[in-house]
Each structure stands twice: as C-alpha cells, then as structure tokens.
Structure 1
Amino acid sequence: MLLLINVLLASWFYTAHGQGKPCDYPVIKHGWLYYSYRGYFPAHVNQQFVYSCDRYFVPPSQRSWDHLTCTAQGWSPEEPCLRQCIFNYLENGHNPHREEKYLQGETVRVRCYEGYSLQNDQNTMTCTESGWSPPPRCTLVKTCSKSEIRIENGFLSESAFTYPLNKQTEYKCKPGYVTADGKTSGLITCLQDGWSAQPVCIKSCDRPVFEKARVKSDDTWFRLNDRLDYECLDGYETREGRTTDSIVCGQDGWSNKAACYERECSIPQMDTYLNAYPRKDTFKVGDVLKFSCSQGRIMVGADSVQCYHFGWSPKLPTCKVGKVKACAPPPQLLNGKGKEIHKEEYAHNEVVEYVCNPRFLMKGSHKIQCVDGRWTALPVCIEEERTCGNIPDLDHGDIKPSVPPYHHGDSVEFSCREAFTMIGPRFITCISGEWTQPPQCIATDELKKCKGSTLFPPVGKPAHMIEYDHNTNKSYRCRGKSEHKHSICINGEWDPKVDCKEEAQIQTCPPPPQIPNAQDMTTTVKYQDGGKNINSM
C-alpha cells in the first residue's frame, strides 16, 4: 500500500514539474542492474542506474559496465547489451593477424583456402545476437578438373587446373575449326554435376572468294561435307565448260576453287571466199568479227558477227557468185504497219522500217532487210496491258485536259503559267506503264544565260564577257569546214555543246544475236549507238 502511494506521488510530482513521463522498471536483455530495488521506480528523467551484461555481451561502449539513463523518450540505450563476436580463427581459411572484436550488426570479409568456401558460397560473416553468421568455417566446395575435359581440335585458354563451382572458362578452336554455333571460341561452366558441356570444335570452311561466279547462300561458314553450289557470270564457264558447279568442305578445306573463266569463241567454219578480220585464234565474249568477200563475190547476210557466251551470232554470211535476187513488197505486220511501203520490188540489202499501232509494243527489230530475195524476220506487235498511273505534277504548270486510263503510247501535254518558261519536252508519253520525264517550269526572270564562245563571230568584246539569253540560237563554222553548226541556249547550257572537236565516226553494232530458246528474230541490220532490239522467250 505504501509503495503504491509512493508511485502515485512520484508520478504527480514529475508531471506537475514538467519533467516528462517517468521510466518504469527496466528489463535488460542479456544483462542486469546493480541496484534493482523496485522502490526506486518509476525513475525520473536523467536518473541513472549502473548495469552490466552477460558473458559474450557488452554495452555499446564495450566497457565492462555502463549507465542506463531515463530520458523523456524512455531508457537509453534502447538495447543496453549487444553481442560481441571475436574473430581469431577461420577453419580452412586465412586467420587474422590478431584477435579482432566486432559488435552485433558488424560484418567482416574473410578468405578461405582455394577450393573452400563459407556456407552458401559467401565471403563475409556478420556478428548477430547468436554469434557469427555464417560460422567461421570454410568447407570444401565442388570443383571441376581440367582433366575431365575432352576437347579435340581445340584447347583451354586458361592455365588453371581446377575450377570452383559456377566458374566459367573459355576454350578456343584451332584454325579451320569452329564451335557448334560457328564461333572460334566458347564457354563452359563448372556445375554440381560437372562441366556444363563438353567443348566441341568441328571442321569448318570459310566463305570462299568467288571469281567471276555467284552463289545464293549468305552463310559465312560451312561444316565438314557441306556442299556449296555456284554459277558462273554471263560469258564465263568452269574449266570443264560448265556454267554451274559445286565445291565441298573437306578436312583440307574446299575441294576446289570456286572460279569461272572467260568464255571464248574459236574461229568458225567459213565460206571459202569469205575473209574475216581481225585475224586471231580465239575471241573473247564481246569481240566482233567482220567479213568481206573476195574475187568480186557478193556478200549475203550480216557483214559482222559477235562472240557471245553461247557462240557466234547471227549466222555467218556467204559469198555468192553472180546476181543477187530482189524482194517482193514486204509482208504486212499484224497490229502495225510499214513506213513508206510503195514499191513493187526491193533491192538486195534494202531496208524497210515498221511501227506498231497505238497501245502495242514492238518485240524484235523495227527494221527488216531484203537478203537475196528473202526478207529477214518480221517483228511482232504485242498489246501492252500495263497502263500509267496519275500524271506527275508540274510545279508552276498545268496539264491539258485528258481522260484516263493512259495506255502505252498515250501522251499528255503540259503548259507553264504566266511568267514561267518551259524547259524540256512539252509532251510526256506512257511507255510500258511508266511516264517519260516531265518538263520543268522555271521563272522567266530566273533563267540562266549562256556564256559566249570564241567560235561565234566576233562582236567587239572578248567572248568570255558576252552572255546570251535563254532560247538564243547561234550558228558557227569550224575551221576547214564549209557547213554551219547550230546550237541553242537552254537555261544556261548550249544544246548541243559548242565545240569543233573531230567528230568520231558513228559506231554501229553488229546485228543483234539470236538468243537460244527465244522467238526467231534474226536480222542483218546494224544498230547505231542507243538502238534497241527486244527478244521474247
């Protein structure tokens, strides 16, 4: 009864004097008070009591005893006794140089002997209320040995003999060998059951260098016995005369060189009176052989042939004695017509030109020739089903009204707006589903001028100081020539170019070849630079 009265009076005293809530009797985990008479409690703020800790535990100050103080927030320290862990020995590991002490919650890093590890493969210990965690004991861990690895055509790149659990090591393949995924090296890992896999190095061949050949495969390496097919470029063949071949990846590399060689044409069998030049034993693809007849004989057929990957084309001419026959009027062309066909008879070598009707496309030579009484192959006019899409826009210009769809051969007309000048053709044409290049509308006041030329008649000023407006037409004459040449200024450029260089002799091509397995379109007519001949299969 007296104790209860004392407690109530103490509580009233501390509250009345503003000294905060009193502290109840403390319960010290792992320790005790030196003076534990309960009549002292509740204790007032700042009142202190001496306490000590049990064995293996110390106050935060790590002294043998310390004070427990009553504060406005309660007893301080909150945790009077902390575990003290001593580190002086590590089983199967490196011991510290001297005994080390750690308080509860602190951590120390340790070093186990090679092949050993702390519990759960850790390398640190933490001081806990119950002692070290994990215990200072290194146990033997699972290791893998280099002797357990069987690797053919490869080697381990590291020098270690044993490897701890989960350790990765790299192996490399010898030159000419790769891993299963095509690399020069790979990784294996030491696991509980041994190595993760046995290294594999398989024979491989790198992608070969193709000479005048191509291959569809995009692979960069090939396994042993892999076969690689290739084909020669046009005009080339293998040593055996084939256009396709294959090579095989073997122990010593590729079975052969993937190479093709330029095809050649040998001198063909010719008419006795037919002379050929240039005189050579062999001709490369693209070489042209020209002919003439001797002893006044007349040549019948093309006067030149060309070497192709399939041989000479067209057929060689012959030399005829006497007169050659004339031809009757040329045949009519279905869906087309001949130009200027008005004679009853056409002389040997005379040429007739054809055009197709609108919406039809010509296949073959647009010219046929009378050859000793017979006309060469007539072209064909095939209906072009492809149409052109929308008419391209013209900046600062307009299109004359027209009605789609636009078929092959259809044209539309452009015009430029006021203050703009047209550069280029006024019409564009639908050709096989595509429009030809449209013109441009350039602001008239922005048109470029053309510089003068020393070839123009003098006008009192140096030529380089004279400029000519767009659309100016100038004529000039080259030294030693009687005829005049003409050029027009088109937005800063002369068309054609103003010069007096010796004009090269117009080059012609031999008659186009008769492609094997294609429609018969033989002709003896030569073609000038830029001419076309379309064969169909």
Structure 2
Amino acid sequence: MRGPVQIISFSCFLFSVTFVQGQECFGEDITYENTQPVVNVSYADGETVNVNCMTGYIGFYTLQCKNGQWLTFIARRCSRKKCGHPGETPNGYFKLIEGRDYTFGAMVDYTCKTGYEMTSRINRRHCRIKGWDNSVPVCEEVRCPVIHTDGEVTASGNTKEGTYGDAIHFECVSSDKKLDGNSVIYCTENGVWSGPVPQCIVTCQLELTEPEVIKTIPWGKTVFKAGETVGIICSGKNRVFNKQETFTCTNNGKWDYKPTCEESRCEVPLNQHVYLPKYYFSGDLNLGAKRSCSCESGYRETAAEATCTRDGWTPKPLCTEIMCDPPTIPNAKIVGSQKSNYKIGSRIEYKCRPGFEPEEPVQITCDSQGQWTGTRQCSDGTCQEQELKNIEILFGYPSTALPYKPGHILVFRCTDDNMRFYGQRAIECLPDGRWNYPYPQCGGKVQCSQPTKNLQFVTLSDEKTEYSNFEILTYTCNKPYNEIPRGVLMCQNGKWNETFDCKSKICPPPPYLQNGDYSIDSTKDEVITAVSYTCQSYYVITKQQDVYKCVDGKWETPPKCLRPCEIDDIVEKYNLQLPTEKVYIRHAEKYTLNCRDGWNTGSELKPYVDVSCSNGNLQIDKSCN
C-alpha cells in the first residue's frame, strides 16, 4: 500500500459527487524466491495475478490486491524440477559432480570398470527441463588383437578374442630352439598385449668355469642368438686366449671356436737396455695391455708404446745406441778422417774455407740427443738486413749503413710509442754472419687498466678504465692517509711502475688480499689499526688468524687465498666419469669420481677414485683400467 485514501470532489452548477479511490498494488513488491517477474507494474484493488516459477522449477502463486496489499489465495513454493535416477550402466560407475540430488542443473559423469571401455562419445548427462539429456553410456569389454604365430611357436589361451586379464602361453615346437621374448603375455586394460609374440631362435649356451675364464663382455650374459658375439677375458695374471678374443654363435647353435686360455708371452723386458715402467690401460700383461717404452741413458726406443699381443709385445721394444751422424756444414772441411757415426761425447773440429768466417777452427761435440752442439755456420761475415714493420732503427754502431759486418750493433724502437715491443732492443752481428738475436717486432697496444689495489684511499686526477703507454697518472692521498699528500704512477709496457704510496702517522692502509677482502676491527683517529681477512667463495684462507694488526707502523703479514679446482674434461684422460654439472673443490678437499662404463679401479674395496685440490691444481690418484 503506497499511501492514505484520497477524497476527490467535483463541483457542478446543479449537483456535487464525492467517491473513494481504491489503493493500488505494485508488481515489484512480489518477492517470492525462484519466480518469474510479473508483467504489469501496478494492479488495481481487487485484481488477481498468477506468479509462475523460473525455468527448471515447479510451483506457482495466486495473489489478490486488497487495499494496497497482496493477499495469497493459492501458494505452492517453487522448487527444482526432479529428473529421477540418471540410470546405471553395466560394468561402469557414475558420480554426481555438480548440483544437489537429481534435480534441475545436476550433472553426472560415467566411467567404465577396469577392462571395459566406453563406446559412447559423451560420458556426461545433465538434468534439463525435460529430464536427463543424452542416453546412458555403454561400457563394453576391452578386447586385444588376434594372436598370430609362425609354425615354430605354439600359443595356448584365448588367441582370437582375448579380453582384459587373459594370458597367452608360448612354447617352441622344436626343443633345439629357445624363445626369444616372454613366454607369457597378458591382455592389458588398454586393449593391447603386454608384449610382442616371441620367436623361436637358435641359441648358444656359454658355460663359464673357473679358473679358465672370469668375465664376459657383455658382462654376465650366458645365452646368445645366432650371429651374436661374446668377448671373454681369461682369469689370472699372464693368461690369454690361444687364438682369438671374441666368439660368434653360429646358425647351428654352436660356437665358431672353443675358447682356451694359455700363458701370455708378454714379459717386461729387462735386457737390451729396455724397461717398461708405466702402463696406460691395464695393470697386468693380458692381451691389449699397453705400456710406454723407455731406454737407459744413451739409448733411444724404437717405439714410444708397445701392446701385448699373442705373439708378444708389438712393436717389439728395442733400444738403439744414440749416435751422431757425420756433420754437414756448408763451406767447411772436417779436420782429420771422418767416421760413419760418432758416439755421445765425441769431439771433432772443422775449419771454414778461405773467405768465410770464423777463421779459427771450431770444435763441436755429439750430445746425448744425437745432435752436434757448438756448431757455427761458415759465412762471408755479413749479416743480412731484414724487413722492418712497425719498428725502426733508432741508431746503429758504427752506423746504419750496409753491409752489416761482425761487431755491428743496431738499436730499435717502435714507430708508435703505444705499441708493445717484443724482443731485444739491441742486436749484434756475429762473426759467422748471424745476428745474436732475431729482429724485434712491435704490435698491439700497450695499455694499463685502472689501478684497483687500495683505490678507496686515493683520489685519481683522471679516472679512466684504460691508460696509454707512458701516460702519467696523478693521485692524491685521502685523509687521514695523506702524510705523503700526492704521487704519480706511469704506465710502462702494460704495467704501472709503482703502487699507491699513502700512509698516516700511525699506519699505512691494510695490505691488499687477492681474491679476498677485509673488514675493519679497530681504528684510531680514523686510521685502520686492525682488520679481519676473508676469501671469496670456494677460496681457502692460509692462516686461521682472527685479527691482523698494525704494530709500530707495520702490518702483520696477511694470509693468502688458495684457489679452488674445477673438475673438467681432464679427468676423462684417466677414464673417469665427468660430472654432468660444474663441480668445484676447495683447496685440500677431496671429491669421489666413478670410472667410465667398462672401466674399473681394479679394487672391489674401493671402486672409485679420489681427486683432490692443491691451490688450483687437480690431483688425481690413479687411472681406471
């Protein structure tokens, strides 16, 4: 009801009428839950209206407008429409995943039992206005494909219509053949067999007995197919096969050769000046063992390495005496008679022919490497001029004029002061027509990087990342380290000629620690008097001293930071397994590495190799064999 009753009057010449206007009802005042909105905005007194439920709901309300208020004649509350039970599916399940009970808007999903698969494209049903949509899904039994075998294999079981869980058993028709594959396969829940149909093949059985053989390659395998090859290693030191190392299974199920072990013919030579001190791949003398060959002093080996074969060492280690061949010196003549060869330590003389230098006889000696030492070429006494590039002759003594005779000296410099000088500044022409040093060269740029040590204690006059050769850098010492107020550095051939020279009346700045840093422990009048040193990550400090002090104006000797080691591909040369990720070891620490596949340490008690670090140098105990 919107307001009080109004009295409306009309006046005429003859009469007057007075009547009461009824109160209205409004549709927006109807607020029943889950109902549709009414059509009209307002209703007259005494008018009735039917209110319907929303889609998916059942029920209704009949109302009458009475004096501005709605009176309920008939009321049936709106409730969700029911769809009834969604329906079971044989060999399957369903689950309510949305909504309450089986009413409008509810949703159920169907799944099949293990061993069954759904044939329907849709596995979901919804409760709609007219009931459940779609049809109940169907679950049918999973079936595996038909099994086909050749005449060599028999199969027992349901080979034509295998269902989930069915097993097929296989056997060979011939007792001379073996199954290559599983003797039993099962029909899985996905409708495929658990494995392929096996075949019956010819095999060879390898029977190993001690002490004849100890190991097979591949390791532990005893049954082989026709055409497969096995390698066998004889047990015991110095035992090898008498004919071959590998054996092949033939088509008739027999080995192409029966293995037999015998003593190895490889012995470490102890005569003829030969000895084999080091092995690479094997610690014993079995076939394939490799050892480096060495000879006594004064002899050289015919081969740097020998391999143990059935016929002994190949190539056979031999040592030949080191001797010098007769020297060949152009424009010279040997004094005395010549020999076909000369032993180590032999001395001979030769003289240059007339017109060639040196004029005096030259004595040469046969050294331990079979080379003549002390040789001097016979020349006409003139040193040759060479091409100059980026370099010039500063002056010559006695002059720069050609020809250059013995005793002539040339002094060089770079054409550009910012170039780096390589070689000797001055060279001299020798009596045999050779320069005592090669011509020098100039190239690249000589630059110095900005100083970094104790940079916080100074102010640079010119802050740059790089400085030219011979450039002067002026610096001012900061307080309180300005007892010496300023200084200069010079860039010389890529290095600064000095370091910052700053100090206070109490102490100079703390010593710089490479690959480390310090923290201040105490000060006096803003001067640092004690510090603690720490190293960068993975670096190890040499001294475990808490505090380093400045005593009588001098600092205690600081520690050092010892470098870590990185495990890199160098370990593969020792037949060790390289880690998949970067590994760093601190100084004096150890790390365990495994052998590569097919290699071992030769010890069952320690099947790994320890590597350790010594100030950046990786230490490896041994190789894997």
| TM-score of Structure 1 vs Structure 2, range by shorter chain | 0.3 to 0.5
Structure ranking higher on relative contact order (CA contacts 8 Å, 6+ apart): 1
The two structures have a TM-score, normalised by structure 1, of: 0.33
- Name whichever structure is richer in strand by fraction: 2
